[in-house]
Amino acid sequence: MWNGKKKAVTFSFDDGVTQDIRLIEILNKYGLKATFNLNSELLGLENSIYRNERTVRHDKVPKDKIKEIYKGHEVAAHTLTHPLLPSLTDEEIIRQVETDRQNLSRLCGYEVVSMAYPCGGENNNVRVAKIIKENTGIKLARTITSTYDFGKQENLFRFNPTVYYVDARFEEIIDSFLSLDNGSDALLYIWGHSYEMDAEYITWERFEKLCQKLAFHDDIFYGTNKEVLLD
């Protein structure tokens, strides 16, 4: 695991918006890897949203560009239409997750096995995780609950990220991770939405500087969610 290294870094970005293209250019520049969680029934739709006192584009990537855009990274499920899963019936949860997974598997040319729960707040619970585990091909499901920690987690169907990248503590968490030298396995898992940089919750320039800080350390494995948690 992790090519014999004790530390690993992975990113996860939701919604499959066109800002992912610019984001991937930055990640590729610094040898970083991410998982991108897509809603297959919303692909190609154009929209805008109001965030941080400004209007930003929220256009979804087109279906026929998925392989090209996300090459070298991981495509993952995010449900068909981005509903709040705990509010749905068992049957609709299965349809939203498994059909999305199957659609994306066909579009990207490999078996999709990861996902992120859509919506904010209480977007997952024990019931939803159990349904997904027992009735879909998903093997890893990420929440939005930050741990601010780098330790192992047993529950891969309610997997908590380390930090939301617009969090005020983001750079502090990076510095803490880079300074670790205790011999234990440590994972830095960062998540967000690329459109948030257009809304300047964090600027593109600051994000790139933090990527540069994280990059090219000989003691760190850089991988997608699947590569760091399932392979």
- What is the Cα–Cα distance from 7 to 21, expressed in whole angstroms? 27
pLDDT at 57: 98
pLDDT at 21: 98
Q: Distance of CA 35 to CAs 23, 71, 131, 147, Å?
A: 12, 11, 22, 19
pLDDT at 162: 98
Interval 25-76: pLDDT, tens: 999 999 999 999 999 999 999 999 999 999 999 999 999 999 999 999 999 9
Cα dihedral 36→42→43→44 (10° resolution): -140
pLDDT at 1: 80
User: Model-level pTM?
Assistant: 0.98
- Two tokens, residue 44: 């190609």
Four-way CATH pick for 2-229: 3.40.630.40, 3.30.365.10, 1.10.3720.10, 3.20.20.370: 3.20.20.370
Q: Where are the domains of the chain?
A: 2-229
Decide: 118 and 78 in contact? Cβ < 8 Å: yes
- Two tokens, residue 195: 């459109």
Interval 149-193: pLDDT, tens: 999 999 999 999 999 999 999 999 999 999 998 789 999 999 999
